[in-house]
């Protein structure tokens, strides 16, 4: 598996999201799932991907399926993250990193997400720098 670099996911255009963009998006969604609650709800990696895809591609409110168990209510439909263009994937990654780095901007009471090595490398950082900083912080 190759190491991601910022240029790997910052690709723009109307073509479909690249495999490297998909890898970065999945890594970020996994880190968000592990380190952040969304307004009191723990989301899975897939939940984060669905949420960002719906945000980028647009949501549609639809009547839910009536299963004969009372009022069916409504559901929100978005789109698959696989339908993101290169430009939308770049924007989605940027938005998710911003949420992870600054959760308070979304009204969340949480510490910033601790990114995995895959994400740190994809953002152009050396993970060892963050590990040394974390050890110094924990020792103080």
Distances (CA, A) of 21 to 6, 8, 67, 88: 10, 7, 38, 10
3 state DSSP class of 63 = strand
3 state DSSP class of 45 = helix
Q: What pLDDT score does 140 carry?
A: 62
pLDDT category of residue 3 using cuts at 50, 70 and 90: confident
* Bridge partner residues of 62 (DSSP): 75
pLDDT > 80? residue 94: yes
C-alpha 68/C-alpha 56 separation (Å) is 33
Give the pTM: 0.85
Q: Tell me the per-residue pLDDT of 36-69, one tens digit each, with 9 for 90 and over.
A: 999 999 999 999 999 999 999 999 999 999 888 8
Q: What pLDDT score does 139 carry?
A: 66
Write down how long the chain is.
140
Q: What pLDDT score does 128 carry?
A: 87
Q: Tell me the per-residue pLDDT of 95-139, one tens digit each, with 9 for 90 and over.
A: 999 999 999 999 999 999 999 999 999 999 999 887 766 656 566
Strand (E) or helix (H) holding 106 = none
Q: What pLDDT score does 78 carry?
A: 87
């Amino acid at each position: 598996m190759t190491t991601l670099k910022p240029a790997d996911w910052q690709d723009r255009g109307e073509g479909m999201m690249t495999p490297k963009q998909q890898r970065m998006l999945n890594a970020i969604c996994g880190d968000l799932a592990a380190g952040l609650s969304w307004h009191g709800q723990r989301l899975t990696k897939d939940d984060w991907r669905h949420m960002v895809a719906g945000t980028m591609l647009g949501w549609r409110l639809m009547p839910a399926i009536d299963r004969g168990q009372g009022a069916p209510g409504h559901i929100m439909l978005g789109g698959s993250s696989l339908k993101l263009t290169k430009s939308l994937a770049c924007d989605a990654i940027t938005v998710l990193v911003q949420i992870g780095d600054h959760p308070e901007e979304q009204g969340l009471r949480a510490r910033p997400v601790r990114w995995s090595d895959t994400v740190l490398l994809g953002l152009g950082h050396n993970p060892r720098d963050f590990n040394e900083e974390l050890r110094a912080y924990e020792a103080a």
